[in-house]
A and B are shown apart, each in its own frame.
Chain A
Amino acid sequence: MIDRSEPSHPDLLPNGERERTGRLAENIIYFARALRAAGIPVGPGAVLDALEALKVAGVGTRDDFYWTLHAVFVKRHEHSILFDQAFRIFFRRRGYIDQLLAMMLPQAPAAPQAPQAGATRVHEALFAGLDDKLKKEHEVELDARMTVSDREVFQRKDFAQMTAAEIAAAKDAMKRLVLPLAEVRTRRLTPHLHGHLIDIRRTLRASMKGGGDFIDLRFIGPNKRPPPLVALLDISGSMSQYSRIFLHFLHALTDARKRVSTFLFGTRLTNVTRALRERDPDDALAACSAAVPDWSGGTRIASSLRAFNKLWARRVLAQGAIVLLITDGLERDADDTLAFEMDRLHRSCRRLIWLNPLLRFEGFEARARGIKAMLPHVDEMRPIHNLESMSGLVAALADGGDSSADPKVWLRSVA
């Protein structure tokens, strides 16, 4: 069977060659399907390219065959490993193809979590019929114009203590948070009514209309865009609830502007940017849960930051990114590496904002070693436990922050 997939040998008879080419095309199509199932996006155009490439390359050895297909099908460095595995399995024995396709079925989504406040939700689910009437009124109350005091209470309610309906309402409110994210100047120049540079090209064209008699100046100025946003979320035990809510916020952000990268860290660092690009927020979160094996486990902030700095910082922090770090800062054995990695992260981005749910406690003081190590390298530290703090964050992203979130305040109080 493996012979059928090898391309024709140069000294073969014409009619045998034609039969083999036909089989070859079939095999390449099946292989492309296998690659698609393995996670490499391969379009039909790529299959045609592969056939043309094999014809042109005059492939004689298995190695050349491998690299020819690799050149056509792989467009990202990360897909190289997937391609390797798929090739090994596919071109070993024909009978394995069915097994391969069966193996590569998409994984079932993770089982639903049982959070702390889940008791309320389970209760609601079980007694849905009984509480129906009450629930309806409750929902209508939330949807319609809430009174000012009700809305205020809702804004200040801690996410960890919300019921399912309230969380759904909070997600809705987050979507409606107006995001006038501050734009920064880029180096690209566009026509601008009151720019500071003269656009000679348009000036001349305008003056040609008048026969070159007078010169009507036209200007260009720098283009403005919102900077890229990178979010690092801690998903260890205590943080997982807040991270989940924040993921919704990030999902809404990812729709509005394209350059948002999201990373989850617990015992390891995972890039979930692609998962969050799904249109439906629940699908997006399910994809995130599926991608991360260590939800609600332990956390090592220093090693996760080190992994981020080494593998991802140079890829996503270019062009002046703003980094949102969501963690409580409670590192079990805080040593110099934590301070060093925070310093490096701080130097690589435009602004580093630390969102700490511990700030929900009135008597919070920055006494823990981990927190003290991280604070000096952060531009702002803000709370993140309720809707009010979310709006505060959005306002901060829009204006450029105010002094109320200055980390030095916390450091001074414990000095």
Chain B
Amino acid sequence: MNKTTPRPLPTSIDATVNLLAEADYLADRSLGTVLYLALKMGRPIFLEGEAGVGKTEIAKVLASTLGRRLIRLQCYEGLDIAAAVYEWNYAAQMIAIRAAEAEGEHDRVRLEHDVFSERFLIKRPLLQALEPDAAGAPVLLIDEIDRTDEAFEAFLLEVLADFQVTIPELGTVKAAHAPIVVITSNRTREVHDALKRRCLYHWVGYPSAERELAIVRAKVPGVGKRLSEQVVGFVQGLRKQDLFKAPGVAETLDWAGALSELDVTALDPATVSDTLGVLLKYQDDIARLEGSKVKDLVDQVKSELRAAE
């Protein structure tokens, strides 16, 4: 994405939806409302939803359209302060100590002051987000917070309340502008209520047929009109089946791209069966759709489109 000049925050819900649309992210009105409120009230946004519906995309799109820096903290089990906030460059510090010793430097206070200075501080994402930025407050994306544990959540709650972090040797670092915080979760664990209460919550669901069609047209330009309609119709039909994991928007876009690479202009059961692995990732789901089921679905899609014309 091109780095655009920093822009002020949108001033209304319509402006927010249009802002996202500029980067080809077609959001529905509820998401626009939550985003606008979060930006205006200075609250973090908590996005929950199935995998592949575009939660992480929102943060990236916000950063690119508002012209702010995107700082990403990918959460995992065992994430601690050393990996999330800051760490000292121990190797360099040890060398500095040894060098001072070799020079005969014995003033302990001066040595400590030297060794624990900003020169040897490695700044991790949370600390980077608190630093002043000429372009305005950065966008801090805390991705997949359900993968960490409660200890980190408690720490995060504290940071999000005051936007300040204390480094014992250096002092307190406080953010001049509170960053725009986007937290995503795949719901593999119940995130604690205290954190959710601090944020504005939104569930990102699967899009409607019209919106998905617009997304496919915007993101995969090479796909023809007829194919894109059929692709969207098929995926919407798939989601109504009793599958273990329904395909998300990312899978739809992948499939549309794959079909256009194969120079397919219209769906037929053979091609669909061959490329089903792009949409469905579980063997029992693919087995469930074997043979005549695919043909039935394709026929249904085509007849519905013909009826709509």
Contact = CB atoms under 8 A, between A and B. Distances in A.
Interface of A: 41, 43, 45-46, 49, 52-53, 56-58, 63-64, 67-68, 70-72, 74-77, 80, 186-189, 200-201, 204, 207-208, 211-213, 309-310, 314-315, 318-319, 340
Given A56-B40, A212-B111, A315-B189, A67 B244 contact: no
9 contacts: A57-B36, A67-B33, A76-B196, A186-B77, A187-B78, A188-B80, A208-B112, A211-B106, A212-B101
A72 B36 CA distance: 12
Interface stretch (B53-61, B197-205, B255-263, B270-278): B197-205
Nearest to A72: B200
Interface in B84-124: 87-88, 90, 93-94, 97, 100-101, 106, 108, 111-112, 115
Given A189-B78, A309-B244, A314 B196 contact: no
B37 A71 contact: yes
B37 A56 contact: yes
Interface in B29-56: 29-30, 33-34, 36-37, 40-41, 46, 48
A188 B77 contact: yes
A53 B37 contact: yes
A75 B112 contact: no
A318 B148 CA distance: 11
Interface residues of B, number: 46
Interface of B: 12-13, 29-30, 33-34, 36-37, 40-41, 46, 48, 76-78, 80, 82, 87-88, 90, 93-94, 97, 100-101, 106, 108, 111-112, 115, 146, 149, 151, 187-190, 193, 196-197, 200-203, 244, 284
A71 B200 contact: yes
A188 B203 contact: no
A374 B78 CA distance: 35
A67 B34 contact: yes
Contact of B201 (A43, A71, A201): A71
A340 B189 CA distance: 25
A309 B80 CA distance: 31
Contacts of B111: 208, 211-212
A370 to B, nearest CB: 20
Contact of B203 (A46, A49, A80, A186): A80
A251 B293 CA distance: 46
Contacts of B189: 315, 318-319
Contacts of A45: 197
B88 A201 contact: yes
Nearest to B96: A212
B100 to A, nearest CB: 8
